[in-house]
């Protein structure tokens, strides 16, 4: 994915994360951990994954969702799905 597209995707993922737990997007970085840094619980993570699936028209397996710990990992997983490698 081109750098500009990757940056836009990352910003969209950060915004979805911010909306999920109602915190300012500027407090979230690619290295933010969902549970430790953003206060996500299992319900927040499920809501986040569902919002990502809807926004990017991808499917995230439960196995993959359990492995996503940081915003960067979520962005990488979405990029792979969009590229057709599947998640």
What domains appear along the chain, each with residue ranges and CATH number?
3-82 (1.10.1200.10)
3-state DSSP assignment of residue 70:
strand
pLDDT, greater one: 87 or 16: 16
Tens of pLDDT along 62-78? Answer: 899 999 999 999 999 99
pLDDT (0 to 100) of residue 3: 63
CB-based contact 73:67 (threshold 8 Å): yes
Tens of pLDDT along 22-57? Answer: 999 999 999 999 999 999 999 999 999 999 999 999
* Catalytic machinery residues: 41
> Residue 85 — pLDDT band, cuts 50, 70, 90?
low
CB-based contact 64:78 (threshold 8 Å): no
């Amino acid at each position: 994915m081109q750098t500009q597209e990757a940056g836009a995707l990352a910003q969209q993922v950060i915004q979805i994360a911010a909306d999920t737990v109602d915190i300012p997007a500027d407090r979230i970085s690619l290295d933010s951990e969902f549970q430790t840094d953003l206060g996500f619980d299992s319900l927040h993570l499920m809501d986040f994954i569902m919002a990502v699936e809807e926004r990017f028209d991808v499917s995230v397996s439960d196995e993959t969702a359990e492995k996503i710990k940081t915003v960067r990992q979520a962005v990488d997983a979405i990029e792979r799905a969009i590229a057709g490698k599947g998640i």
